[in-house]
């Protein structure tokens, strides 16, 4: 059954004015399960006006009362966790264990945002001058635009909007047009939790909706996650319109293995990082660099493991890796593999011909492994966003770090070692924002900031953690003199 998705504006589901729409498919079967409107500027404006109208009421709602709505949402998300995970597998394709994990990570952000009365506290200093005190108050700013990608359609919107609304702002969310169905259900749950009309609005669409959000004079700031080229456009376009912006982009993550690492645990971590979610994570490992003797050890284990991965429908309990999101993305990943071969890398495991019996129309690519990948090759420099690994050898950690630094991205990286000294040195030299030490997916939890550096991130305040509170508020500093007769310092006690 195909569901037509509507926008959510001012507390009601509204048909978009746009006549164009795109399909949502189950990536395991290629079957259409929904249609998403490509909303127009007028649709975005309607959502912004609803959000603008709701702002004074919501801002005036005491922060503990706002937090209570989120507490109720957290409870509802927990109650519906399994159903959400199943629905998410149907529209995204990743396996049930992964969608359960994603829903859990989303809930943790709602949970963190529940602490808003404490998180929003300002600073105070008494007697900054004689009889004068100073305090800062964190205040919400108005309507925020939030634009999210397809790869974590439950969790990534929850990196943003719970914090934005907890701090007293109102929101226009533009989810990915490729898999927006599960988050529709979360919006229904937010309504059930008591989120008043107009506080959270959803507009579906693609480029026109995104550009309208960047340009709209009544939107004060934009949070974005997606590929780096679009992240840069959204960052510059939003800034040109006078808004604050945080835009998280793509990645090419290196996993560096030292000879003293525990190789079996390292294999589990690296394989999970590279092939988990079919490689469609911004924290996915892309190039494994074995230093010295580590190379042969990790290479052999990774090759064996990759060849044994069972692909299939993510709802089947025996499936270890699901399909890619779409036929277009599968073709893009295939063309990267073609280019890797043409550019001279050694293709040691080829996933291009993969298929699943009974699901031949699914968007399949099997685990793929290249060796001898150099930074000038497209598979060595670009984000592939599929289950494709490169395995390289370096003579030293310094050489491995130099390979990593030859890349324009700076989202995540990991080192595998039993040496605290090597790990410390790596942390110091990496120059990359999310660092794993014996961890394959270095994902900060909700109370730490999430985001990269270099071409993986544009802005300064990242997603979640205390950065989210700073991004969605302005610090208003008040300097007060209430004392009519300031004390004479010469008469003050000595201590
Ligand atoms: P994408 O850039 O294609 O789309 C992201 C959003 O931008 C979507 O809502 C989409 O509708 C919109 N969009 C797409 N093209 C646009 C254009 N030309 N102009 C304006 N808006 C446009 O990204 P995706 O394919 O949905 O997601 C995968 C990407 O997201 C990967 O590059 C991945 O690394 C990145 N990502 C990054 C992080 C992070 O934390 N840095 C997290 C998750 C995903």
CA of 292 to the centre of ligand 1 (A): 37
Domain with CATH 3.40.605.10 in the chain: 3-249+456-479
Rounded to the nearest angstrom, the distance between the alpha carbon of 225 and the centre of ligand 1 is: 6
Task: List C-alpha distances in Å: 12 to 158, 199, 265.
Answer: 20, 12, 50
Question: Do 413 and 452 touch, CB atoms closer than 8 A?
Answer: no
Which of 227, 250, 462 is the best mutation target for the ligand 1 pocket, counting ligand atoms within 8 Å of the beta carbon and taking the most? 227
Residue whose CA is at the smallest distance from ligand 1 atom 19: 207
In the chain, count H helices and then E strands. Answer: 16, 23
- 283: Cβ below 6 Å to ligand 1? no
Dist CA 153 CA 102 (whole Å): 9
Q: Which of left, alpha, beta for 271 (phi over 0: left; psi -120 to 50: alpha)?
A: alpha
To the query of whether residue 282 is one of the catalytic residues in this protein, the response is yes
Exposure pattern of 90-110 as b/e (b: 16+ CB <10 Å)?
bbbbbbbebbbbbbebbbbbb
How far is the C-alpha of 481 from the C-alpha of 483, rounded, in Å?
6
Q: Classify residue 279 by its DSSP letter.
A: G
Measured CA to CA, the distance from residue 257 to residue 393 in angstroms comes to 10
| Domain limits, CATH 3.40.309.10, in the chain | 253-437
Fold held by 253-437: Aldehyde Dehydrogenase; Chain A, domain 2 (3.40.309)
Tokens of 113: 């945002």
Q: Which CATH superfamily is domain 3-249+456-479 in?
A: Aldehyde Dehydrogenase; Chain A, domain 1 (3.40.605.10)
Any atom of ligand 1 within 6 Å of the Cβ of 236:
no
SS3 content of the chain, % helix, strand, coil (to 5): 40, 25, 35
C-alpha–C-alpha distance, residues 229 and 326, integer Å? 20
pTM of the predicted model over 0.75: yes
Print pLDDT tens along the chain (495 aa). Answer: 788 899 999 999 999 998 899 999 999 999 999 999 999 999 999 999 999 999 999 999 999 999 999 999 999 999 999 999 999 999 999 999 999 999 999 999 999 999 999 999 999 999 999 999 999 999 999 999 999 999 999 999 999 999 999 999 999 999 999 999 999 999 999 999 999 999 999 999 999 999 999 999 999 999 999 999 999 999 999 999 999 999 999 999 999 999 999 999 999 999 999 999 999 999 999 999 999 999 999 999 999 999 999 999 999 999 999 999 999 999 999 999 999 999 999 999 999 999 999 999 999 999 999 999 999 999 999 999 999 999 999 999 999 999 999 999 999 999 999 999 999 999 999 999 999 999 999 999 999 999 999 999 999 999 999 999 999 999 999 999 987 755 666 666 665
Of ligand 1's listed atoms, the one at least distance from the Cα of 457 is: 41
Nearest alpha carbon to residue 245 among 156, 160, 170, 122? 160
**What count of Cα atoms within 13 Å lies in the side-chain half-sphere of residue 68?**
7
- For the CA of 248, the closest atom of ligand 1 is 41
């Amino acid at each position: 059954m195909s569901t037509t998705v509507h926008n959510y504006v001012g507390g009601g589901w509204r048909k978009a004015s746009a006549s164009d729409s795109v399909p949502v498919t189950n990536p395991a079967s290629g079957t259409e399960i929904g249609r998403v409107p490509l909303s127009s500027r007028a649709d975005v404006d309607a959502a912004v006006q609803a959000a603008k109208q709701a702002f004074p009421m919501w801002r005036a709602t005491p922060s503990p009362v706002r937090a209570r709505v989120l507490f109720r949402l957290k409870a509802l998300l927990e109650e519906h966790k399994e159903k959400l995970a199943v629905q998410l597998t149907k529209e995204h394709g990743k396996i049930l264990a992964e969608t359960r994990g994603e829903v859990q990570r989303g809930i943790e952000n709602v949970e963190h945002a529940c602490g808003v009365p404490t998180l929003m506290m300002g600073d105070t200093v008494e007697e900054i001058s004689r009889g004068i005190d100073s305090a800062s108050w964190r205040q919400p700013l108005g309507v925020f635009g939030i634009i999210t990608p397809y790869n974590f359609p439950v969790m990534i919107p929850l990196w943003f909007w719970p914090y934005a609304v907890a701090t007293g702002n109102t929101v226009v969310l533009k989810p990915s047009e490729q898999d927006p169905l599960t988050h529709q259900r979360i919006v229904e749950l937010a309504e059930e939790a008591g989120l008043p009309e107009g506080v959270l609005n959803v507009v579906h669409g693609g480029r026109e909706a995104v550009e309208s959000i960047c340009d709209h004079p009544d939107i004060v700031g934009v949070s974005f996650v997606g590929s780096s080229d679009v992240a840069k456009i959204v960052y510059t376009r939003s800034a040109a319109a006078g808004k604050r912006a945080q835009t998280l982009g793509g990645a090419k993550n290196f996993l560096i293995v030292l000879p003293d690492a525990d190789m079996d645990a390292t294999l589990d971590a690296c394989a999970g990082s590279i092939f988990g979610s079919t490689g469609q994570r911004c924290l996915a490992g892309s190039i494994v660099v074995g230093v010295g003797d580590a190379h042969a050890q990790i290479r052999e284990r990774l090759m064996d493991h990759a060849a044994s991965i069972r692909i299939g429908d993510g709802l089947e309990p025996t499936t270890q890796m699901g399909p890619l999101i779409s036929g277009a993305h599968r073709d893009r990943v295939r063309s990267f593999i073609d280019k890797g071969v043409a550019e001279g890398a050694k293709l040691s495991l080829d996933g291009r011909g993969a298929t699943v019996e009974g699901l031949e129309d699914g968007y399949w690519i099997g685990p793929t492994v290249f060796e001898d990948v150099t930074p000038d090759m497209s598979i060595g420099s670009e984000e592939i966003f599929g289950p494709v690994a490169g395995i390289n050898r370096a003579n030293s950690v310094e050489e491995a770090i130099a390979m990593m630094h030859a890349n324009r991205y700076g989202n995540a990286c990991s080192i595998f070692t039993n040496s605290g000294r090597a790990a410390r040195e790596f942390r110091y030299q990496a120059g990359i924002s999310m660092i794993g030490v014996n961890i394959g997916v270095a994902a900060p939890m909700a109370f730490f900031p999430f985001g990269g550096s270099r071409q993986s991130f544009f802005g300064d305040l990242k997603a979640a953690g205390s950065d989210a509170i700073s991004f969605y508020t302005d610090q208003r500093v008040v300097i007060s003199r209430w004392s009519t007769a300031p004390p004479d310092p010469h008469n003050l006690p000595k201590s």
